């Protein structure tokens, strides 16, 4: 109990300190974060890429071994959700507003950099590959490793759904395990809070810019960003006062349905043949290089390419690590009754495939326009990335309707993410209490709002990404530790079952 109170106090203090610092002096916070993150990426970028690739190889290896037959729960348990619903929930939890924001902006930003070195068609192909890689199977391997470890220890060994649980379970008599476990929970809280705070900022930027488009404005005034932020906070505070139930799941499903409708609309009413070729070709290019690309660090390509690699791929990898504990607990909760093989294949393949369809459609339209001499979307990568998804929709029919749908989806993704994150943070900070008090949940909701405000005041998306990376850096090592704990537990339990069978 004392450790739980200390954890709650320490985590709230840290998040409040960072949030207030960012509101009072966003420039110095951004400068400090950039210095630390840049130095870490220069000296330890190889470790990040090696770690996430090992997680991917580990997850894939489980599917072809006897461990894949192990059920997450009792041997008689069966999944609570159908596979399509389960995969939709995975995707909504793990990606959400980020895909809406970067749908067009990311492939074209990559193209602008790569086209300085390669012919335009090859640059376009590589730009789409870069976006698919950043949002692909490596991201879901991070989520999958964290979620699978938490699920295995919770459903097979009866531990609470905490990051510290595997360490404490494997080493119950070791004093260091208590210290490492406490630190793991503490850093998980920091990573979740800062990561979700960054997503709040991105969501506010995009919703505000979408409203600007609807009212016919050229630039988004600061007061509109403030209004959108306050409305978003007002929308997620009431759900924190009640149990997290089916209502939030319904909102997530609505947001996901809107996203599916948008990508289908773009493929059908855009240059359909071109986009389908873009999607299929993008999948083929990705599958051909997915494992080697995970170990590529662009060492010999000069400062500009190295900077691009750090600002995008490395930042994304630690971004997914920042969301790992939050998404991990959520995915673990909805995966009881599935075998490890079902779990891994569903987590890795389903959402990754949808992401590639997403970028192949939206990024394909942007690349189509750029390669055919229309440079408006490409120009926006340097002036207003928040506007790019809406600028793409503006060139298709029913612009007002699709703009409203995008605003609604972004809003719903953020509200549901914040509410779910506040519940998970409340659970983590109270020693694994599955139903933290409304007071604790509201406190975390308020802190997430402060962190979101700090990110908004930083003034740029790149600053937001840097702050998210800062929060996740210590958790890189903890994620690797979780993978090692799962390996050890699987081997221990297999040995015990073998000994039991011999008796």
CA–CA dist 7, 185 (Å, integer) = 8
Tell whether pTM > 0.85: yes
User: Residue 444: its pLDDT value, please?
Assistant: 86
Query: 188: number of CA atoms within 13 Å, CB side?
Result: 35
In degrees and rounded to multiples of 5, residue 391 shows phi and psi of -65, -35
CA–CA dist 461, 147 (Å, integer) = 28
Query: 323: number of CA atoms within 13 Å, CB side?
Result: 31
pLDDT tens digit sequence for 223-261: 888 898 899 888 888 877 766 555 566 776 787 788 889
Across the chain, mean pLDDT equals 85
Opening angle at CA 187, ends 181 and 193, nearest 5: 135
* HEC secondary structure over 55-72: HHHHHHHHHCCHHHHCEC
CA–CA dist 431, 185 (Å, integer) = 9
User: Residue 62: its pLDDT value, please?
Assistant: 94
- 339 SS3 class: strand
In degrees and rounded to multiples of 5, residue 71 shows phi and psi of -95, 140
Q: In Å, what is the CA distance from 460 to each residue of 202, 369, 440, 465, 467?
A: 9, 26, 31, 9, 11
pLDDT tens digit sequence for 48-104: 999 999 999 999 999 999 999 999 988 888 888 788 777 777 776 666 667 888 888
Label residue 209 left, alpha or beta by phi (over 0 means left) and psi (-120 to 50 means alpha): alpha
Which domains does the chain show, CATH number per domain?
Answer: 2-497 (1.20.1740)
pLDDT tens digit sequence for 134-175: 999 999 999 999 999 999 999 999 888 888 889 989 888 777
Length of the chain: 503
User: Residue 496: its pLDDT value, please?
Assistant: 85
User: Residue 426: its pLDDT value, please?
Assistant: 82
CA–CA dist 314, 466 (Å, integer) = 11
Q: Which residues, given as ranges, of the chain have pLDDT below 70?
A: 1-4, 92-97, 242-249, 252, 459-461, 502-503
Q: Tell which residue, 286, 288, 293, has the closest CA to residue 363.
A: 286
Distance linking the first and last C-alpha atoms of the chain:
41
Helices (H), 65-171: 83-94, 97-102, 105-114, 120-134, 137-157, 165-170
CA–CA dist 107, 105 (Å, integer) = 6
CA–CA dist 175, 378 (Å, integer) = 56
């Amino acid at each position: 109990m004392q450790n739980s109170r200390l954890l709650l106090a320490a985590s709230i203090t840290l998040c409040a300190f960072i949030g207030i610092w960012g509101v009072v002096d966003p420039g110095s916070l951004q400068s400090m974060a950039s210095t630390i993150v840049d130095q870490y990426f220069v000296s330890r970028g190889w470790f990040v890429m090696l770690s996430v690739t090992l997680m991917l190889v580990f997850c894939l290896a489980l599917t072809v071994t006897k461990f894949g037959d192990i059920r997450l729960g009792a041997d008689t348990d069966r999944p609570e959700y159908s596979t399509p619903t389960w995969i939709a929930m995975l995707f909504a939890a793990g990606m959400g507003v980020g895909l809406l924001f970067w749908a067009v902006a990311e492939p074209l930003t990559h193209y602008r950099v790569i086209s300085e070195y390669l012919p335009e068609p090859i640059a376009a192909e590589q730009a789409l590959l870069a976006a698919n890689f950043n949002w692909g199977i490596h991201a879901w391997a991070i989520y999958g490793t964290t979620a699978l470890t938490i699920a295995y220890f919770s459903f097979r060994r009866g531990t609470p759904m905490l990051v510290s649980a595997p360490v404490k379970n494997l080493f119950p008599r070791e004093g260091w395990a208590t210290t490492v476990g406490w630190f793991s929970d503490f850093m998980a809280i920091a990573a979740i809070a800062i990561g979700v705070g960054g997503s709040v900022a991105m969501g506010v930027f995009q919703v505000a810019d979408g409203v600007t488009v609807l009212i016919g404005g050229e630039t988004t005034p600061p007061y509109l960003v403030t209004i959108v932020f306050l409305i978003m906070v007002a929308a997620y505070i009431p759900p924190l006062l009640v149990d997290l139930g089916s209502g939030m799941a319904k909102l997530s499903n609505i947001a996901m349905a809107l996203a599916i409708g948008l990508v289908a609309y773009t493929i059908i009413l855009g240059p359909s043949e071109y986009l389908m070729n873009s999607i299929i070709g993008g999948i083929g290019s990705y599958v051909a290089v997915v494992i080697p690309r995970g170990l590529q660090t662009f060492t010999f390509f000069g400062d500009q390419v190295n900077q691009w690699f750090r600002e995008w791929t490395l930042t994304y990898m630690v971004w997914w690590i920042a969301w790992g504990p939050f998404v991990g607990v959520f995915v673990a909760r909805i995966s009881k009754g599935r075998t490890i093989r079902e779990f891994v294949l569903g987590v890795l393949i389903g959402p990754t495939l949808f992401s590639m369809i997403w970028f192949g459609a939206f990024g394909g339209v942007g690349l189509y326009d750029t390669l055919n001499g229309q440079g408006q979307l490409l120009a926006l990568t340097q002036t207003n990335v928040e506007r790019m998804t809406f600028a793409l929709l503006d060139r298709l029919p029913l612009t007002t309707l699709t703009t409203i749908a995008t605003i609604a989806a972004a809003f719903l993704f953020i509200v549901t993410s914040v509410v779910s994150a506040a519940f998970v943070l409340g659970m983590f900070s109270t020693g694994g209490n599955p139903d933290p008090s409304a007071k604790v949940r509201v406190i975390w909701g308020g802190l997430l709002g402060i962190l979101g405000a700090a990110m908004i005041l930083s003034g740029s998306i790149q600053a937001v990404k840097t702050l998210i990376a800062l929060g996740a850096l210590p958790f890189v090592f903890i994620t690797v530790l979780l993978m090692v704990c799962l390996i050890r537990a699987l081997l221990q339990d297999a040995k015990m079952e073998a000994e039991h069978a011999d008796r």
